[in-house]
Amino acid sequence: MRKYFRIAVLAGAVWISLLPVSAQYDLDPANKFARALDWIQRYYVDSVNTSKLVEDAIVGMLKDLDPHTVYMNRDEVRQMNEPLQGNFEGIGVSFYLLEDTILVIKPVPEGPSDKVGVKAGDKIITINGENVAGIGLTNDGVFERLRGPRGTTVTVGIKRQGEPELLQFKIQRDKIPIFSLDAAYMISPGVGYIKINRFAATTSREFTEAFRTLKSKGMTRLILDLSQNGGGYLEEAIRLADFFLSKNKLILYTQGLKSPRQDFIATSYGEFEKGDLLIVIDENSASASEIVAGAIQDWDRGLIVGRRSFGKGLVQRPVPLPDGSLIRLTVARYYTPTGRSIQKPYKDGIDAYEQDLIKRYQHGEFIHADSIRFPDSLKYYTLEKKRTVYGGGGIMPDIFVPLDTSSYSSYYRSLMNTGILYRFVVKYIDRNRRELIARYPSFEQFEKNFTVTSSILDQLTAYAETQKLPADSAGMAASGNQIRLLLKAYIARDLFDTNEFFQIYNQSDKTVQKAVEVISSMSKYW
């Protein structure tokens, strides 16, 4: 017995070894973890949630690797996949919870709700006989009730303006597309503008369709807006870059300690290998966006306008686990055609990494181009024109555009950060929908003739006061023009679509306006 058990008294507590002495040393790490978990399950003084214990252990194990290696439970996996897969299954409406009531902003064209007659402005009062108005429903609660497997049905009771009784609609759920392309229109003669919000499974197809439509309208030059685009599927970024680069040009390569170098090469299928190209980026352009911008910049195929991108140059591989959760494991770094790694440093820990954008702002980087300095060791040269570019933390634009804060005020920020401005828009449209549609049946008429009057601004101010935001005449004077433009843009979005929103919003976007200026005289910027 002395061979197999040890008894020790430490600080007044009795510790009893339950393993043979010979087995207490040199355990394989995986066996060590399994053994520890087994001990807890067998002998811990109280009951434990084993699943949570394991999840917490996995999270703790990953947190010191890199900022982008993460564990995701089943719900998080579903939430991540839906926008990237380009569809979900449900009834096909965009909605807003207005005063604890589900307000239909717009049914998806040709979607299940649209087909049975649900209209913008309808209020969903019941779902399968359950009252859902005035009960404190959250967005997740709405999703749980309205989404479901394709082919299943749900009955909604709708309150429609002018109808005395609830209207009952039986809706058969179906696949609902989620678009990654926000806008595509002719921003000036001969110049097309396309904005992509993420790189999803359908992005290259959406882009190609939009490109061909604009080309048929006379587009010869293109502004591709990747600002606020946090990335997505690597494959879609490669396909998009291929669209612009000629055959056999390197788009990027990936390499890691356990992952040998893999080159991704352009094919002969690019439809816009010649013609002026300009890409807009900002501090929130990351990953797949940086792949596209880096390839275009390195090959001198186009110019980059805006501010330094986020700096995510790590490649993740999803590792599925048996319960539907997964680990997004970093397996390699990606490098632009010149060999640049644009991953920003993370040696100071995740907290410092996540504060990087704030530090950039405080340092003045968003305002002054000369606040950014890179050592010569990070200097590279483009492959055609031998222009200087840098690695080591994001894509530096060829043409810097500072963050425009000229119309910002504390009042404006409060209107935006609290959601008051958009809630006002929803209420305004709800009250005036019929009149607005009758007066502005097309976006062209709306853009030309609709004006945000002083009366509308007064209504906004009064509504803000009911939301405990006091009137601020100085703030309104400083930000009034921007508030007017945003109100008009939001109204356009809810009456028409996101494409129309950006046609109005971009009129005040200094980076987009600079892009239009540059692409109109590209030769002087090379």
What does the alpha-carbon distance between residue 353 and residue 468 come to, in Å, rounded to a whole number? Answer: 35
Is 287 assigned a catalytic role?
yes
Three-state DSSP class for residue 372: coil
| Token duo for residue 394 | 């994001």
Q: How many CB atoms lie within 10 A of CB 44?
A: 10
Q: What are residue 252's DSSP bridge partners?
A: 264
Q: How many CB atoms lie within 10 A of CB 177?
A: 15
Q: Are 241 and 188 in contact (CB under 8 A)?
A: no
Q: Which of 204, 228, 289, 316 is catalytic?
A: 316
| Token duo for residue 367 | 């305002």
Q: Apex CA 334: angle with CA 280 and CA 371, to 5°?
A: 50
- Strand 262-265 and strand 181-188: pairing? unpaired
Is 85 assigned a catalytic role?
no
Q: Which of 113, 180, 204, 287 is catalytic?
A: 287
What is the CB-side half-sphere exposure of residue 358 using CA atoms within 13 A?
A: 5
Q: What are residue 224's DSSP bridge partners?
A: 194, 279
Is 312 assigned a catalytic role?
yes
Q: Which of 195, 312, 344, 488 is catalytic?
A: 312
Phi-psi group of 281: left, alpha or beta (phi > 0 → left; psi -120 to 50 → alpha; rest → beta): beta
Nearest Cα neighbor of 304 from 520, 518, 521, 524 is 518
Q: Name all contacts of 78-83 with Cβ < 8 Å and 24+ positions apart.
A: 82/178, 83/178, 83/180, 83/198, 83/200
Residues known to be catalytic: 287, 312, 316
